[in-house]
A and B are shown apart, each in its own frame.
Chain A
């Protein structure tokens, strides 16, 4: 698909991107039998080792596929907010409409974690170049069909992210941020021709969207979210109008504002668990280092591009010098040198692209991801605060009730008792929420760290391989030039 027509530049938000997702599901880990083993077998206890009084133990059992409740669950209609999608039979169905909204995601997450031993899904998403009215095609073979494609606009991606963020961030899930709206502003590309810069912009955006989707579907909970499934499967999406103004950057800014507000409130949280403090510090440090590294790599990209330009200029100059040279053999050698340098210029350009797309973008992605990570920690604090507030309010109400005991106002007393009952429920819920978010964050952080190490390792290997290729080409070019130089006499 060729982009770069003037129309494209003007009406960016009208372009649609093509996402192709190939999912090879590995039968073993998806078979119903395995799942039931996981949920019913002795392993189940290990899930709750750290949580003997887990309120959700029963809930988990209910979700196993060969339990009698299953049919009941599967027959539950999807939530009215989402277009109906046939749930896969080979995947755990999220229980939609269950009274404890938070519970089902957690329990299914627990089970997924058990499966995770072997990668249950081998998902590959590719986002291909947008066509004229540009459409990103995505296809996912999560289910029976191996590959199908849908067309999505950039704003659809943003819409998806905002939905996921609103559903999952506040309960402790690290939701991958969507690409920034104005990527061009972030780069230091020395603009050559119009075409080149618009092509680069398109490629950057396409690549960023691809990475975003991959990260999203790699998350076991998010993958099963109906909005995600709809995004990947539905041939048509309702236009995400309200989110057009809200890019992921905007969302993250909101999260950060919330974080700042939290800080300003000087929540003196009684941290019963040093783990959280340690981890927060760790992520702070990581953030600083990654930003610094990102800056250095951006500088590398910039200088490599400069080198490419300078080499091209030198090549031209050497060619002119060769033309001017009156000694035949030397003249030829100079022309050959010019040719070598021209080829090397292309090498430098390619390497600069690798520097950018592999190394620099990876770092940029993680800087943005860390913002989301920090966000969930802040949400935990807010959750704690909410719980504390309920507790304090309950305390007050109890004191008021005690006072009312001595007055002769039976109505007011009853009212007070009712309020207290309600508040007690709230306090319990608050405590549960807090414990749940803490638990979720622990798991999320562990998953995040594993992913991060894997991610970096994979990409660094790719990057080093790109460097090897460049050097090997250099050897070829100079070895070809050497006899020419020796031929001067």
Chain B
């Protein structure tokens, strides 16, 4: 059972700028418990809004509850013109768990110290995964709370406030929508967006940009992940090397002095890996998902445009047949209205999205560069100290 504290969370908040400006609705996840595979988040709300029953309260929530909330928002017609914040990914402890398993199997082949150190590393990795998942769930809620429209959503309020188990509600929702909409979106996505004839320059540009950017950022995310993994492997190698040097130390004076330096190098390498992971990989991963959400918006707008064009055709047909003209006209008017509404809000959303993205990248790049410099300077100091020691003997 693990939990996190306020301080470490501050450091973690990387992918977005601080969203908790508005004091009228402040949300955070101060606490989380990990039981086997299930993570239980404590969602804490502080509000001055009268729509809530209490000004300060907490509820326990599972990952599935977040997904339910996200899905209901996506499936709400009124929000079609908004970028719905991407759903937090499922907590994935597979990697550290597999490694822990392998470590257990290989226990006999390593010294007790080596085993302990590896185990510590794995526990740290486990904790890092845990922290990341808490962060990403928290940001999801904070994006909602800071959005002028979404923050007022009824289901959002239920999510924050309802002090019973949400799983009953979740089941009902599933039966109602059956995940149908989501599947539809996924399959028809690219084709429809690229197929529709665009009338608006802004959206034409956005469409081109987002489609291309998405594939590029997806690639960069994958490559950044591989980099981070390689760093971690190197850190693990240092553990093994330092353990063996330890065994040699009994026989050899030189090895003893080297022992500490290698251990320290390992720590630094591990830090480099996890910082790079947070500042770079997580950033890219988050915006990859965010861009997908923006693409979804484009899709919905494209569909609305398609609907409008179809309604035009239907109106023409009706006029030809001189039948049901008022209904057709009404339908066409509605489609146009919907389309215009989507376009207007879509434009606003996409513009603010770009601003948000630029700010987040800037913040993370600066922090990443600063951390890299810090770690490298640390390493230099350690290494030079050790070299001095060796040379003086």
Residues of A within 8 A of B (CB): 282, 285-286, 289-290, 292-293, 296-297, 299-300, 303-304, 306-307, 310-311, 313-314, 317-318, 320-321, 323-327, 329-330, 333-334, 337, 453, 456-457, 460-461, 464-465, 467-468, 471-472, 474-475, 478-479, 481-482, 485-486, 488-489
| B155: interface (CB < 8 Å) | no
Residue of B nearest to A329 (CB): B358
Let me know if B310 is at the binding interface, CB within 8 A.
no
In the complex, given contacts A296-B237, A471-B383, what are 9 additional A-B residue pairs having Cβ atoms less than 8 angstroms apart? Answer: A286-B251, A293-B244, A296-B241, A300-B237, A306-B230, A310-B230, A330-B362, A471-B376, A471-B380
A297: contacting residue among B209, B241, B254, B377, CB under 8 A: B241
Q: Which of B161-207 contact A (CB under 8 A)?
A: 205
In whole Å, how far is A339's beta carbon from the nearest beta carbon of chain B?
Answer: 13
Q: How far is the CA of A355 from the CA of B278 in the complex (A)?
A: 28
> In the complex, which residue of chain B has the Cβ closest to the Cβ of A481?
B369
Which residues from A are CB-within-8-Å of B233? 303, 306-307
Residues of B within 8 A of A489 (CB): 358, 362
Task: Say yes or no for B390: interface residue by CB 8 A criterion.
Answer: yes
Q: Say if the beta carbon of B293 comes within 8 Å of chain A.
A: no
9 residue pairs of the A-B complex, CB under 8 angstroms, read: A289-B248, A292-B244, A296-B237, A297-B237, A310-B227, A314-B226, A318-B220, A474-B373, A478-B372
Q: Does B238 contact A (CB under 8 A)?
A: yes
Given contacts A304-B234, A324-B212, A330-B361, contact A317 B380 (CB under 8 A): no
| B363-393 Cβ-contact flags toward A at 8 Å (1 or 0) | 0011001101100110110011011001100
CB distance from A377 to the nearest CB of B (A): 17
B220-258 residues at the A interface, CB under 8 angstroms: 220, 223-224, 226-227, 229-231, 233-234, 237-238, 240-241, 244-245, 247-248, 251-255, 258
Minimal beta-carbon separation of B211 from chain A (angstroms): 10
Per CB-CB distance, the 4 closest pairs between chain A and chain B, nearest first, are A307-B230, A485-B365, A314-B223, A488-B362
Bound: A468/B252 CA distance, A: 24
B103 within 8 A of A: no
Instruction: Select which of B227, B258, B369, B384 is within 8 A of A485 by beta carbon.
Output: B369
Is A460 a contact partner of B376 (Cβ separation < 8 A)?
no
Partner of A310, one of B219, B223, B237, B258: B223
A464 with B387, Cβ < 8 A, contacts A310-B223, A320-B219 known: yes
Q: Flag whether B354 is at the interface (Cβ < 8 A).
A: yes
Q: What is the bound-complex CA distance between A317 and B383, given in angstroms? A: 33
- B128 partner residues in chain A, CB cutoff 8 A: none
Cα A310 to Cα B227 in complex, Å, equals 5
Contact B234 A285 (CB under 8 A): no
Partner of A471, one of B223, B234, B248, B379: B379
Main secondary structure of the interface of B (DSSP, over half): helix
Classify the interface of chain A: helix, strand, loop or mixed: helix
**Closest partner residue, chain A, to B247 (CB atom):** A289
List of B residues within 8 angstroms of A334 by Cβ: 361
User: Closest approach, in angstroms, between the C-beta of B50 and any C-beta of chain A?
Assistant: 39
Cβ contact of A285, chosen from B251, B362, B390, cutoff 8 A: B251
> Are the CB atoms of B373 and A482 closer together than 8 Å?
yes
Choice from B255, B265, B365 contacting A333 with Cβ under 8 Å: B365
A298 to nearest B CB, angstroms?
9
Q: Which residues of A contact B366 (CB under 8 A)?
A: 482, 485-486
Residue pair B376, A453 in contact (C-beta under 8 Å): no
Given contacts A296-B244, A324-B209, A330-B361, contact A307 B231 (CB under 8 A): yes
| Given contacts A289-B248, A461-B390, A307 and B227 within 8 Å (CB-CB) | yes
Q: In the complex, what residue of chain B is closest to A305 when comparing beta carbons? A: B230
In whole angstroms, what is the CA distance A306 to B233 when docked?
Answer: 10
B219: A residues at CB distance < 8 A? 317, 320-321
The docked-state distance in angstroms from the alpha carbon of A290 to that of B245 is: 9
A314 closest partner in B (C-beta): B223
B255 surroundings in chain A (CB, below 8 A): 456
In the complex, what residues of A have CB within 8 A of residue B252's CB?
A: 453, 456
Residues of B within 8 A of A318 (CB): 220
Q: Which residue of A lies closest to B248 (CB)?
A: A289
Whether B373 and A457, one on each chain, are in contact in the complex, defined by CB atoms closer than 8 angstroms, is no
Inter-chain contact A468/B244, CB cutoff 8 Å = no
Select A461's contact among B253, B365, B369, B391, beta carbons within 8 Å: B391
Cross-chain contact of B387 among A286, A468, A482 (Cβ < 8 A):
A468
List chain A residues, Cβ under 8 A from B247.
Answer: 289, 292
| B118 CB to nearest A CB, Å | 12
A residues less than 8 Å from B261 (CB atoms): 464
Say whether B25 faces chain A, with CB atoms less than 8 Å apart: no
Chain A residues whose CB sits within 8 angstroms of the CB of B376 once the complex forms: 471-472, 474-475, 478
B254: A residues at CB distance < 8 A: 453, 456-457, 460
Partner pick for A482 among B234, B369, B390, CB 8 A cutoff? B369
B-chain residues with CB within 8 Å of residue A300 when the two chains form the complex = 234, 237-238, 241
Known contacts A304-B234, A475-B380; A464 and B244 CB within 8 A of each other: no
> In whole angstroms, how far apart are the Cα atoms of A109 and B380 in the complex?
44
A285-B248 Cα distance, complex, nearest whole Å: 9
Who on chain B is nearest to A297 by CB?
Answer: B241
Is A303's CB under 8 angstroms from B230's CB?
Answer: yes
Asked if residues B362 and A478 are in contact (CB atoms below 8 Å), the reply is no
Is there a chain A Cβ closer than 8 Å to B217's Cβ? yes
Query: Nearest CB to that of A345 among chain B residues?
Result: B227
Q: Is B317 an interface residue (CB 8 A)?
A: no
Are A314 and B373 in contact, with the CB atoms below 8 A? no
A460 to B262, CA, bound (A): 11
A467 and B216 form a contact (CB under 8 A): no
Please indicate the chain B residues that have their CB under 8 angstroms from the CB of A310 in the complex.
223, 226-227, 229-230
> A289 to B244, Cβ gap below 8 A?
yes
Residues in A with CB closer than 8 Å to B227 are 307, 310-311, 314
Q: Which residues of B contact A482 (CB under 8 A)?
A: 366, 369-370, 373
CB contact between A460 and one of B205, B212, B220, B390 (< 8 Å): that residue: B390
B213 touches which of A289, A307, A325 (Cβ 8 Å): A325
